[in-house]
Amino acid sequence: MKRVQFNNRFLPYLFLLPQMAVIVIFFYWPSIQAIQSSFYIEDPFGFGSTFVGLRNYHDALFGGDYLNIAVFTVWFTIVVTVLSLSIGLLLAVKADAILRGASAYKTALIAVYAVAPPAAGLIGSMFFDQHIGPFVKLVSYFGWDMKVGVNYYDTAFAMIFISVWKQIPYNFIFCLSGLQGIPVSVREAATIDCRSGFRRFWTVILPLLSPTAFFLLIINMTYSLFDTFGIVDTVVKDKAANNPVTLVYKIYLDGFRGNDLGGSSAQSVILMIVVFVLTIFQFRFLERRVHYG
Amino acid sequence: MARIEIARVSKIYTGGVRAVSDVDIDIADGEFIVLVGPSGCGKSTLLRMVAGLETISEGSVSIGGRRINDVEPAERDIAMVFQNYALYPHMSVYKNLAYGLKNRGTPKAEIDARVAEAARMLELEPYLERKPRALSGGQRQRVAMGRAIVRKPAAFLFDEPLSNLDAKLRVSMRGEIKQLQKRLGTTSIYVTHDQLEAMTLADRLVVLNGGRIEQIGAPLEVYHRPASTFVASFIGSPAMNLLPATVFNGGILIGDQLSGLSANLPNGHVTLGLRAEDLRLVTQGTGMPFTISFIEDLGAQRLLHGLCGGHPLVVAVSPDLDLPANIRLTIAADRLHFFAVDTGKRIEPGPAPVQPAQNGTETAASEAGMTAGF
Amino acid sequence: MKKVFDHLILLFGVFLMIGPIVVAFITSTHEPTEIYSKGLMITWGDHFYDTYHKVLLESGGFTGKVTGLSELRNSFILGIGFAVGKIVLSMLAAYAIVYFRFRMGVIFFWMIFTTLLLPLEVRILPSYAVMTKLGLVDTYTGLIVPLLASATGTFYFRQFFRSVPEELLEAARIDGAGPLKFFIDILVPLSRNMIAAMFIVMFVYGWNQYLWPMLMTTDESFFTLVRGIKQILLVWVGSQIPDYNQAFALAILAMLPPVLIVVIFQSWFIKGLTESDK
């Protein structure tokens, strides 16, 4: 905080009031409601609700296909994170290395950041469409009879492909700004000390980039968990039956399609805990990052 | 124009750290006071308490007879020049100068007149419409000064205003600040860690150490009669040589060697202070033995670094002096400084009844040394 | 030689990233039957005007109240409303937290930053329940305000305010500026670049919202373009030859404003993004 601050009896409260009002009404109230209703079962005809303890949690975790979906979500998260990060990094390294046309490449590579996930999902699912999708035609030459929306693995493939595509620009932007944040003098010192460009990258550039990479790891994980909702929804098109979905999508399905308030809330709380742990992890890391830089 | 009284002022931070302890300074109207000391000595904190940017934990500060402990900074009738200038980056030079007046509800015509006057004084007229980022370091410094001047305050407060400038500009700005202050006759408090700046600017110096005042006095007084070893080593360049010495029957030993110097002090250990520029080489006769380790040629001066009685010592000599093979040193008796070993405080030797008269010439000094002990 | 290789990789990257969008745009200028029989197009068709005219102006949906234009308008309301709301709320809150010493400061700080822990997607159902209780479904307030309940912007301005040199506040205080004057005369003008950067990032974020508008709007006159994508997909189910061209056109329209803004204000956008997410 500042060395010198204002002392005023009511101004700070006045300034905080709008933000606090929004947070209390639209964050704390619903969050507490979620925790509360996760311990109740709502009467299907709307005649009140019954306290059931941890039953919703038990049902959520062990009933139906929750665990399968959880396993898929984990795989989905790992694959999307690793692929989008490594492709983004590769492109950033190349864009950083060239002099001519760097800004044109940069513009072209970041544009997709602004595309809404469902728009990406829509265009993507056209490329994987049974009738008109060029991708389906392409792989059919290799004997792959791709049926996105019908075959579980084919759908997963399309979902991952589109999610990675959508997330590359983000990784590209951060990797590039991380690379450009490395002092020229350090690079020059490395050029004098080490002849092989590849070795230089592994021993000097990449370690210096590791804070950025670690930060991106966390961001990509939250992206895969939450922001891909629009992609999943457009690829699956409400026919979740045989298709892979993520945990967030299941919360939505159970809550809004299945009208299972208690079950959906229990799932929300479980996910809250996961995100909570992830974020604490991130904060702890952020502190370290300060020392690094 | 006002007198500033700082009476028994202390700054105590939460946790009990005393950044400033019991400081008393009585500043006359129009006086230029420089607070000098190493970083962390409390000089900036003291200035900021006068400005109202830090609360005063104990004691009181009054400006022009008005106690201002609990007065808002804007109402203390002071103006401050910051180390990094603190110009408002989004405002033109004109607006930077006018902002404080505008907030006080000064009429537009009056603002214009005052800004024009300050701009003329500081030769800023061509730049009034520019933003600070389009100015050089020296020009920004002038704008910061101008912002203080237009206010016509009772006091100027300077917080290391020249330390972001390069050496050459610093010297010329130093001169300008001094002239401006004399012309305006505004009471000023100036904080710096640079002893040269302090010496050249101050009417009176306040040397601070560890939050306490070590000495207050005119620059030359502080130079010639430093109140403690701290002041002695801080003021003057090169720093005063401080050697552990022993007084025995009026003679002075450095280490276990006789120095040829004498003083009317009781027997015991003292810290002996010798300014490099006061030491003389003796070509004949005796004096303190000195072996040269290395030589620094500064052009106008030549610094001889060496050992005397096993202790490092610096001697400043004229650059065209031939160095004899076997060097001995001597010094006029009135240029000797003595400090208590435990407190570091200055000790004044008594008059020298037992010693023969000393007239300060080299031969006389060396003879005096001879009679004293060798 | 190495340079050629670098350029090849970058060109492939550009092809991968931009290619699908270009193909989608070109395909949208053809007729659905043609697309159905021939697949995606890479040559310009002659139905550009027809398709976009239809998507923008012809009423569609179940109630016939919705046109592309009305969706475009709603998207702008959501994007701009969200960005402006976010900036105003978070600047005020960050100002209070950084520049004031007050007793509840630390508690408020933690209350605000806890919101970083839980994205809206996790608490979607209870949030919806609260909205119904408050009667905010199918209102712009309900669409925009709950999205503001997160601290990203506050965090961002807090970081920025802390980087503002202390002496500026001190100089302003000596110049007689109180808390309000300092905020309006000094801090807001100083934050101009930050505000612009934040606006771009937040506009894109608001514009691209999907799940929340999907829940909060049942009345089609409140649909946004991104929300409209869901609708066009629903209509597809069961139709013989889907209106591929219209779907593509809608997707292109939905991405055009944010993409343009990101591309045109690239440096601000990157600044906003890399500094707000840290």
> Over pLDDT 90: what percentage of chain B?
61
pLDDT of residue C188: 93
Percent of chain B with pLDDT strictly greater than 70: 93
Give the minimum alpha-carbon distance from A19 to chain C in angstroms, rounded to a whole number. 5
Task: Note whether residue C16 is domain-resident.
Answer: no
Residue at B100: amino acid letter: G
Query: B212 - beta bridge partners?
Result: B209
| Maximum separation of any 2 CA atoms in chain C, in Å | 76
Say whether pLDDT at B362 is over 60: no
Query: What pLDDT band is residue A2 in, cutting at 50, 70 and 90?
Result: low
Tell whether C19 is covered by a domain. no
Query: Residue A88 is part of a domain; what is its CATH number?
Result: 1.10.3720.10
Asked if residue A58 is part of any domain, the answer here is no
Tokens 């004044």 correspond to what residue? B348
* Phi, psi dihedral angles at C227 (to 5 degrees): -65, -35
Amino acid at A292: Y
Query: What are the tens digits of pLDDT across the range B119-131?
Result: 998 999 999 999 9
Q: Which C-chain residues 42-81 have CB contacts (< 8 A) with chain A?
A: none
Query: Is A119–C229 a contact, with Cβ atoms under 8 angstroms apart?
Result: yes
Q: Structurally, how many domains does chain A consist of?
A: 1
H/E element, B87? none
For residue A86, the model assigns a pLDDT of 93
Q: What mean pLDDT comes out for the span A112-132?
A: 88
> What's the predicted TM-score (pTM) here?
0.83
Domain count, chain C: 1
Asked if residue A255 belongs to a domain, the reply is yes
Of A15, A107, A112, nearest to C93 by CB-CB distance is A15
User: Amino acid letter at B214?
Assistant: E
Residue C216 to residue C146: CA distance in whole angstroms: 10
**3-class SS at B59?**
strand
Whether C265 maps to a domain, the answer reads yes
In this predicted structure, the answer to whether residue B221 has a pLDDT above a threshold of 50 is yes
The minimum CA-CA distance between C153 and chain B, rounded to whole Å, is 23
The band of C278, judged by pLDDT with boundaries at 50, 70 and 90, is very low
Find the DSSP H helices in chain A. Answer: 11-23, 29-37, 55-62, 66-97, 102-110, 117-127, 134-140, 152-180, 184-193, 197-200, 206-222, 229-236, 247-252, 261-292
Question: Quick check: C174 and B73 CB within 8 A?
Answer: yes
The dihedral sign for the CA sequence B41, B44, B49, B50: positive
Question: Inter-chain contact C171–B147, Cβ cutoff 8 Å?
Answer: yes
Task: Count CB pairs under 8 A between chains B and C.
Answer: 60
Average pLDDT in the C86-114 region?
A: 88
**Residue C143 host element (H or E):** helix C140-144
Burial of residue B108 (number of CB atoms within 10 Å: 0-12, 13-18, 19+): exposed
pLDDT tens, position by position, B70-125: 998 888 899 999 988 889 998 999 999 999 999 888 999 999 999 999 999 899 99
Q: Are C168 and B83 a contacting pair at CB < 8 A?
A: no
Residue A42 lies in a domain: no
- Report the alpha-carbon distance of residue B115 to residue B109 in Å, rounded: 10
DSSP-based three-state secondary structure for B220: helix
Residue C120 lies in a domain: yes
Q: Domain containing C67: what range?
A: 47-274
d(CA B280, CA B366) in angstroms, rounded, equals 10
C12, pLDDT greater than 50: yes
pLDDT at B309 over 90: no
Residue A234 domain flag: yes
On whether the CB atoms of residues B11 and B56 are closer than 8 A, the answer is: yes
Q: Which domain range does residue A232 map to?
A: 65-289
In chain B, which residues touch C (CB < 8 A)?
A: 48, 51-53, 72-75, 78-80, 82-91, 99-100, 103-104, 147
Structure tokens at B369: 């040394």
In this predicted structure, what is the pLDDT of residue B57?
Answer: 92
What pLDDT was estimated at residue B372?
Answer: 34
What average pLDDT does this structure show over A9-22? Answer: 90
Q: Please give the ipTM for the structure prediction.
A: 0.88
Interface probe for C, chosen from B72, B78, B84, B88 (most Cβ of C below 10 Å), is B88
Q: Rounded to 5 degrees, what are φ and ψ at B202?
A: -75, 140
Does the CA dihedral C86-C90-C93-C99 come out positive or negative? negative
Q: Mean pLDDT in chain B?
A: 87
- Structural domain includes residue A128: yes
Q: How confident is the model at residue B356 (pLDDT cuts 50, 70, 90)?
A: very low
In a domain, A33, yes or no: no
Helix, strand or coil, per DSSP, at residue C102:
coil
Which CATH number covers residue C70? 1.10.3720.10
